[in-house]
Structure 1
Amino acid sequence: MSTQQVDVPNEDGQPDTKITEGATQESPQWLQDWVDLILATKNIRFWSPPDDPDKPELPYIPGFTVRIHRHIPPPPEPVPPLSTEYLRSVSQSEAVVANPPPETPTPAQPETAQLTITTPIATGAARGSQVVACTVVLRDDKRQSTKQFQATAKIYDPLYYNFKLELAPDPRDVVSRAHHDYSTEAAAYEHLLKTGQTAPGSFAPEYYGTWTFDLPIDIKGNPRMRPVRLVLMERLQGTSIRDMRIRNNPDWSLGKDLFHFPEEYRLEVLARTMQGVVKQWRTGIDQADFAGRNIILVTNNYAAGELNGKGGLALPRIVLVDYNYATVQSLPEPFSPPHNPIAAFWGAYLCEDFTGWVPHEWQDIRLQREWLLRRFDVVSHLYQPLPEHILPEVEELLHADATSSEPPATTSATPGLNVPTSLEPISRPPYRTSSPPKLKFGFGPYEFLPYKTIEEIRQLVAAAELEPSTHRAKSNEKR
């Protein structure tokens, strides 16, 4: 097989890596396609941001203090994008100062406060939104202190978004991106507030409103002021599932995991998180970034009666954060029950975003789906019916387990599958049903659905054939 050496330029346009190209039909097609892609792009010089002497060092460090003002956020609609040609011709500082965020009406009851950063949570000069712990002191008209509290601030400062697209040879429109993140997250929290989902102990953080402040900057020697937007929310004394991972095996290649937590505990936390997600969907909001980094476990805030927990551990409060990709819609009455978590997570490959939390065996998605069928009711009036397009796969799994002569492939915390007698269409209340949102990988009180015996599931199926009017009354009682 003949070969050819191909120079691949780095970001400076200089040859960096050598690739050997196969010239015969024996090369796999995917390899040929990959080499063709490299060859097609080898002469592209990737754009790099110009020098930006006017850009200040990242100010969002402990001790940073600023006066903030209550702000009405704009609707989550895109602003006119800045052209690539324009962005290539200016520095990031010039682009940000020349294109401030859109103005909105002044609040009917203006508020001011003093914000002081105490601890960085997720910060960086090219990170994007800056997340910090802070102390907030509310001020009255005479600038006297009226209230002090701890909070988390999420600051959408376009000057500290990455000005370079990661996978393209172009600059990023940081102004539009920061506007998108702020307006989307603000709309999500406003919706959560209006639907009663930000009360203490909820599945979402408590919400303290949207705010703005001004920072000084010199552009080519000319002093200017630039506005910056932020959202204030509850300071959570917890850790994300991703950040809780540690190295439990001396073999570095095996990576980090959380297998020091009992599997029963880990899967119960996952199940409750899924229940929280579908309950949010029911109220018209989809967080749209379901991942371990966005699930915070608050272990010093146990729900009443949950101290015995699972696997010998008390169960934590579970909080879903990061709503800058969320979608919000208003749902007409009557609300239908939530989607069944079986349907919501049927196509999700949890081993990707919950590595080290879910069993390694779930790399076989069939085992993940078997757990969903064990943990949640296939037939339940607490949830919408399963959508028809997954029923064949559900029925195949149920009956394969029921007829197998071998013990079911289960993890240590899950018994065998519970098999209903039928998954044929059954009488239902006239709910407005829909397909669950497509998960992007990316509540209290909880409703727990204990594992059902086969006989109990048969009774549920039989009960589902009652008159619709009787059914609706029973469903309303449970809701």
Structure 2
Amino acid sequence: MTTATHAATSSAPYQEGVELRIQRHVPPTPFGSGYRFCPRPDSGLDWAAVRYGVDRVAFALDNPPLETEPPDQEKHTFTITGSKTVRRFDPDSDDSGNGGAHVVTGYFDRDEEVVCLAKIFDGVYYPLLVEGGCDCMMLADAEYAKEAWAYGTIQPVEGVGRKLVPEYYGAWTFPVATDRPGHPRWVRMLLFQLVPGETVLDKICKATKNGVVQRSLLPDEQTRLRVIKHTMEADLSIFWNAEVRHGDLTPRNAMVQPDGSVVLIDFNQAEVYPFYYQPHPKYDEVPSLRFFSPIEKYWPLDPWGSGTFDVATPGNPWESWAPEAWKNPDVTAEWLLETWGSPAPGSLESAPLSDYFLNHRAHAKRNKKIQAALERLGRKPAEA
């Protein structure tokens, strides 16, 4: 068994057999865009330094992760059994799309029966510098803080935590040895339940041959539509009941379990409203901004034109999973109305559509089927 020692960077860190000596950590509250100002001191890193080369480990030692009030000092071990990360890392590249968090599987306290998923936010393996002046340690801290508080906020919400997201086992930190004796560098980590199943992206990749998605190799259309429905419902429930907006609802972040249910993962771009710069929309005095219903939230046409499942737009990540007919957004709108036009009483999806949405003049341009469905939901009939 080996321990985590990365005096220099490698393209394949945190490999099978590495044992991390972990202890509890209190994550800093979210900061950056939409949140409080960044509390980290300016590292002074600029593009000139990046071009001439930067010793990543030395930079991490000189610019350690943010510290918070220490929790109890209970110590445990986490032994890595495999990697879930699908990304490239070139330590000599200054490409802003290079690197990021590492996702690995492993077991807790040498008990091979207790297998978890870990997300490791090691700034050494992040882009050195990105547009806007964020350096690698700031990026790692920001993602760690945002994701930790997103899961921590969602977890206690009945019907949402442990159901629509993986069970969250908390925030942790561990030392990594360096070539400076007595000066390890500290790395942050989150632990989760290892959810069985595949992401939608995994399924799309399996159906891809020579760079082209073969629709015949995907699950049948009704199965794919059920996954989209469950994804929308999970996203909406997390948004309204836990007051967290996912922010990156793409196929790689929708995990389909063997029973067909969906859990959402990866909240590093989330809006965690208890810490966000504006209140959650459900407290807004303007009803038109509340988006109670999935019909309204995912409507692909005016007045909202939501882009999440707008597969009429080239490059939409859901394009190959959604029905080809959805390239006509009227068809998507019809499906939304058919799916949630008569929801179960008392469900989140049964919330009425806003008057602003129902009676928006843009609907006058829609086909008769859409107009009739909206009228059944309360739209005022057009005057003859």
**TM-score after normalising by structure 1:** 0.61
- Cα distance in 2 for partners of 1:186, 1:195 equals 15
- Cα distance in 2 for partners of 1:76, 1:103 equals 13
Deviation of the 1:342 alpha carbon: 1.2
Which of 55, 58, 63 is residue 17 of structure 2 equivalent to?
A: 63
Which of 316, 321, 341 is residue 294 of structure 2 equivalent to?
A: 341
Which of 61, 75, 85 is residue 112 of structure 1 equivalent to?
A: 75
Contact kept, 8 Å, 1:198 with 1:206, in 2: the verdict is no
- Shift of the 135–257 alpha-carbon distance from structure 1 to 2, 3 Å rule, reads farther
Deviation of the 1:84 alpha carbon: 4.0
Which of 85, 97, 111 is residue 122 of structure 1 equivalent to?
A: 85
- Cα distance in 2 for partners of 1:236, 1:286 equals 21
- Shift of the 84–358 alpha-carbon distance from structure 1 to 2, 3 Å rule, reads same
Which protein shows a greater Rg? 1
Contact kept, 8 Å, 1:281 with 1:338, in 2: the verdict is no
2:34 corresponds to: none
- Shift of the 188–199 alpha-carbon distance from structure 1 to 2, 3 Å rule, reads closer
- Cα distance in 1 for partners of 2:333, 2:291 equals 19
1:183 corresponds to: 145
2:95 corresponds to: none
Cα root mean square deviation, aligned: 3.4
Deviation of the 1:253 alpha carbon: 6.6
Within 5 Å, which residues of 2 pair with 1:405-416? none
- Shift of the 65–270 alpha-carbon distance from structure 1 to 2, 3 Å rule, reads same
Which range moves more in the overlay, 86-95 or 172-181?
A: 86-95
1:294 matched to 2:259? The reply is: no
Which range moves more in the overlay, 350-359 or 179-188?
A: 350-359
Within 5 Å, which residues of 2 pair with 1:51-200? 55-57=8-10, 58-77=12-31, 78-80=38-40, 81-85=42-46, 88=50, 90-107=54-71, 109-122=72-85, 124-125=88-89, 126-137=98-109, 149-163=114-128, 165=130, 173-196=135-158, 199-200=161-162
Task: Note the residue ranges of structure 1 that are not aligned, 5 or more in a row.
Answer: 1-52, 139-144, 303-315, 404-415, 426-479
Deviation of the 1:349 alpha carbon: 4.9
1:264 corresponds to: 222
Deviation of the 1:359 alpha carbon: 1.1
Contact kept, 8 Å, 2:334 with 2:370, in 1: the verdict is no
1:359 corresponds to: 323
Contact kept, 8 Å, 1:113 with 1:137, in 2: the verdict is yes
Which of 217, 220, 244 is residue 285 of structure 1 equivalent to?
A: 244
- In structure 1, give the amino acid aligned to 2:177: P
Within 5 Å, which residues of 2 pair with 1:223-234? 224-234=183-193
Deviation of the 1:317 alpha carbon: 2.1
1:401 matched to 2:345? The reply is: no
For residues 386-438 of structure 1, the C-alpha deviation after alignment (integer angstroms, 9 at most, x for no partner) is 361574367436652279xxxxxxxxxxxx9675174149xxxxxxxxxxxxx
Contact kept, 8 Å, 2:15 with 2:82, in 1: the verdict is yes
For residues 211-232 of structure 1, the C-alpha deviation after alignment (integer angstroms, 9 at most, x for no partner) is 000001126xx66310000000
Task: Note the residue ranges of structure 2 that are not aligned, 5 or more in a row.
Answer: 1-5, 32-37, 90-97, 285-289, 300-305
Contact kept, 8 Å, 1:278 with 1:338, in 2: the verdict is no
SS in 2 for 1:224: coil
SS in 1 for 2:128: coil
- Shift of the 247–103 alpha-carbon distance from structure 1 to 2, 3 Å rule, reads closer
SS in 1 for 2:147: helix
Contact kept, 8 Å, 2:230 with 2:261, in 1: the verdict is no
SS in 2 for 1:154: strand
Which of 152, 165, 182 is residue 204 of structure 1 equivalent to?
A: 165
Which range moves more in the overlay, 340-349 or 114-123?
A: 340-349
**TM-score after normalising by structure 2:** 0.75
- Cα distance in 2 for partners of 1:249, 1:152 equals 27
- In structure 2, give the amino acid aligned to 1:225: P
- Shift of the 354–110 alpha-carbon distance from structure 1 to 2, 3 Å rule, reads same
Deviation of the 1:127 alpha carbon: 2.0
1:36 corresponds to: none
1:423 matched to 2:379? The reply is: yes
Larger RCO (CA within 8 A; separation ≥ 6): 2
For residues 33-56 of structure 1, the C-alpha deviation after alignment (integer angstroms, 9 at most, x for no partner) is xxxxxxxxxxxxxxxxxxxx9523
- Shift of the 361–349 alpha-carbon distance from structure 1 to 2, 3 Å rule, reads farther
For residues 86-118 of structure 1, the C-alpha deviation after alignment (integer angstroms, 9 at most, x for no partner) is 8547432222110101111121x4322110111
Contact kept, 8 Å, 1:246 with 1:256, in 2: the verdict is no
SS in 1 for 2:138: helix
- Shift of the 402–360 alpha-carbon distance from structure 1 to 2, 3 Å rule, reads closer
Contact kept, 8 Å, 1:116 with 1:136, in 2: the verdict is yes
